[in-house]
Structure 1
Amino acid sequence: MALPLAPIAAVALRYGTVAVATYAIARSVERGRRDQRAEDALDDVPEGLTAHRGRDAGVDADAEQVNATGRIRRVIRFGKNGPGLEIDAVSLTRIRVRKL
């Protein structure tokens, strides 16, 4: 009995294309570094959402800036006394609008 190669070739071509694209993206991304100042700033963010709108002294007079922070910290357990995961998601956002 003959082996139908057309369906296998289509699947192989599709997965091969995804693999090559993933490899190309992985090669183009620079290796990051850990900045302790940024780590400290993320650790200082309170849980929940905050927003601040105002003009800072060091910002251009025509610039309006909105700063927002968000943090969610949860512990997920598998079973009553089973292993657990702590999830700590932090976001710092700055949106600056300036008249030109």
Structure 2
Amino acid sequence: MPLPLAPIAGIAIKYGSVALATYAITRRVSHARRDQRAEDALDDLQEGFSIRREKDQTSSTARFNRTIRIGANGPGVEIDISAFGRFKIRRL
């Protein structure tokens, strides 16, 4: 019984092109340095979302911090998502 290769070839081409594009992007991205001041500022954020408006800019912060465990004393991971944002408009 012959094996139908047409559907398998289509899937292989699709995932192969995604893998190739991902590889090309990771090769082009430069490595950034870690700024300890920014790390400390992100660690000091309060959990939740806040927004502040001033005359010439709007600033926002967000933090989501959760611990997920498998079982009562099982292995776990901590998820910490923090972000700053600023929207600034200046007339020239």
Q: Where does structure 1 lack aligned partners over 5 or more consecutive residues?
A: 56-63
1:78 maps to amino acid = I
Q: Does 1:67 align with 2:59?
A: yes
Q: Offset of 1:2 from its aligned partner?
A: 4.1
How many matched pairs? 92
Q: Offset of 1:48 from its aligned partner?
A: 2.0
Q: Which has the larger radius of gyration?
A: 1
Counterpart in 2 of 1:97? 89
Q: Percent identity?
A: 57
Counterpart in 2 of 1:35? 35
RMSD across aligned C-alpha pairs, in angstroms? 1.9
Counterpart in 1 of 2:21? 21
Task: Quickly say closer, same or farther: Cα 1:4–1:35, change in 2 above 3 A.
Answer: same
Counterpart in 1 of 2:50? 50
TM-score normalised by structure 1 residue count: 0.75
1: CA distance between counterparts of 2:77 and 2:40?
22
2: CA distance between counterparts of 1:22 and 1:94?
29
2: CA distance between counterparts of 1:51 and 1:3?
59
TM-score normalised by structure 2 residue count: 0.81
Counterpart in 2 of 1:80? 72
Task: Quickly say closer, same or farther: Cα 1:49–1:3, change in 2 above 3 A.
Answer: closer
Q: Offset of 1:9 from its aligned partner?
A: 2.7
Task: Quickly say closer, same or farther: Cα 1:13–1:91, change in 2 above 3 A.
Answer: same
User: What do the CA deviations read for 1:4-60 (whole angstroms, capped 9, x no partner)?
Assistant: 4433332332222222211111111111221111111111212222221114xxxxx
Q: Offset of 1:77 from its aligned partner?
A: 1.7
Deviates more, 1:80-89 or 1:5-14: 5-14
User: What do the CA deviations read for 1:48-77 (whole angstroms, capped 9, x no partner)?
Assistant: 22221114xxxxxxxx20111111222222
